[in-house]
Amino acid sequence: IYELHLRDFSVLDERVPAQMRGTYQAFTVSGSHGMSHLRELAQAGLSSVHLLPTFDIATIPESRSEQAVPRIPEAGPASTEQQAAVGSVAERDAYNWGYDPLHWMVPEGSYATDGHQDGGARIVQFRQMVGALHAAGLEVILDQVYNHTAAHGQDPSSVLDRVVPGYYHRLDAVGRVTNSTCCSNIATENAMSERLMIDSVVWWARHYRIDGFRFDLMGHHSRATMERVRAALDALTLEDDGVDGASIYLYGEGWNFGEVAYNALFIQATQGQLGGTGIGTFNDRLRDAVHGGGPFDPDHRTYQGFGTGLLTQASGHDPRSRQEQAADLAHRTDLVKVALAGNLRDFRLPLSDGTVRPGGELAYNGMGAGYAADPQESVNYVDAHDNETLYDLLVLKLPQGLPMAERVRMNTVCLATTALGQSPSFWGAGVELLRSKSLDRDSYNSGDWFNAIDYSGQDNGFGRGLPAASRNESSWWVQGPLLEDERLRPSPQHIAAAKAQAMDLLRLRASTPLFWLGDAELVRTKLSFPGSGPGAPAGVITMLIDDTLGPDIDPALDGVLVVINASGTWVGQTLVEVAGRRFTLSPVQAEGADDVVRTAVFDPGSGAVGVPARTVAVFTETSAPPR
């Protein structure tokens, strides 16, 4: 899944006619940098594009004549002038992430070309966008926000509360509209609120041929509501509706907070409470294990993670002892393993302390790490629109002097933890191009200047100035010197290398169904982590998917051996569990973009494997001929 904001996609693309940039129509320009890039991703194995909100948004002026355009000054990479210019028009320009619903069942007008906002014209252009993405071999997923609206009461952006005052919104004990989501919360536990939500989802599926839905703050809905959404979609058929509703994937943010927290009003649609539904939730366990620390740390330099150099490539900012860092890395490595195994609650694995326990017993912030009953109930990610981009986190967390070529490799290591796991793999757009937002921690209103993606591969966005003061000023003292460091600005050649390595990850995932078994019992039967335990090398994960066990999933292969070496040194280890087997480097990597991985070795006699620093190596064993 590739998460993409509509304006980010094309606003910089010089191959798109100027009047079509930042619009639905940009997706119909087949020769653009963006569409060429999406086709490459699709050919490599990408299946779906997830669009940030495209319903009618309250906070963006629809007419070009009403949209303010910032005048960006020519200023240095750590100047405050660019963000000041963007901020001066931020409430009147064409940019917002769009989590401000006005009308749920209407496409956003500002994304239509000028003069096509009214009547059916915007609908036609939206459908043309969907058709263009389908023609490129990509499914389309919409980001839906049914947990709140932009306003309530008599506000001009209030709709539902003016239709039936006090009904659609969730009220507190004294009758005030709750706003734990950021805005005016919707009470989808009320019958007609839920009905509107379900009708809207079905409308988009039936009339716009949408292939999946992502639900913002899904934990503010009940499990029962989400099950009824699922049932309504399942009732759609190709014969009667033109769509196979049962094939539509649902996932969302399963966070537990606000007035509904801990099932205060209903059984929530949160992590661990959707078992058996097939509905996915974002896996923050993997995110934090790979990044280190947490998304709201005041100084992201302090704590590194599995994919950002913890212990093995120390940045020097962590105040803890080496022993404490080693224990933290071991725990985060265990979290990554659980995620690779579909984040299953009952998958038993050898942990770093020498015990063998189910994923649900591994601790994560006072909860069980593994919570899914089926692999598709967890969505694995290390980069999304929220918080800093992966590249920016690598800038903050890796040693500042680490060469750019090695940063590219660590980017690939991080992406491999999602691409080679059993759950759906989710990438934020541009992560394969080292996308930067100039260290912005929350770019929802930071304009095209900080958000636009350069699909020509010439510039990754780093050093466009200090990010928005309103959300980042307390970190400027850290960000400024980094933005001024020319060593941290990748060249077009580095961006191309990152893209090529990411493409190889997609090809690896697509090369065998063993990376997507799709069933918890198959995962339990076939997947293991040889070489694990207290003596395992730090920063290394070895995963075996054994197709000689249970039903034959890939007739061409007897197994896959994955080694993720996130450390800064060559690592060799002897895996007695695979001694005697005939693993060789996957043809994808043997013929791929990375010369370094081709030095990885496997000895069939002993089961010894050696993998270079900052490298993901995938070995395959072809099926033995029948006797």
Q: Is 126 helix (H, G, I), strand (E, B) or coil?
A: helix
Burial of 115 (0-12, 13-18, 19+ CB in 10 A): exposed
Among 108, 216, 392, 454, the one annotated catalytic: 216
CA–CA separation, 423 and 507 (whole Å): 16
Question: Is position 216 annotated as part of the catalytic site?
Answer: yes
Cα torsion 190, 195, 198, 201: sign? negative
* Listed residue (197, 198, 174) closest to 186, CA to CA: 197
- Contact by Cβ (8 Å): 432, 423: no
- Whether 253 is a known active-site residue: answer yes
Task: Decide: 573 and 552 in contact? Cβ < 8 Å.
Answer: no
* Cα separation, 261 vs 277, whole angstroms: 20
The 3-state secondary structure of 326-365, one letter per residue: HHHHHHHHHHHHHHHCCCECCCEEECCCCCEEEHHHCEEC
**Burial level of 185, CB count in 10 A (0-12/13-18/19+)?**
buried
Give bridge partners of residue 546 from the DSSP assignment.
559
Report the first-to-last Cα separation within the chain, whole angstroms. 41
Query: Which member of 62, 253, 288, 440 is catalytic?
Result: 253
Of 404, 402, 399, 393, the closest CA to residue 315 belongs to: 399
Maximum separation of any 2 CA atoms in the chain, in Å: 78
Tell me which residues are annotated as active site. 216, 253
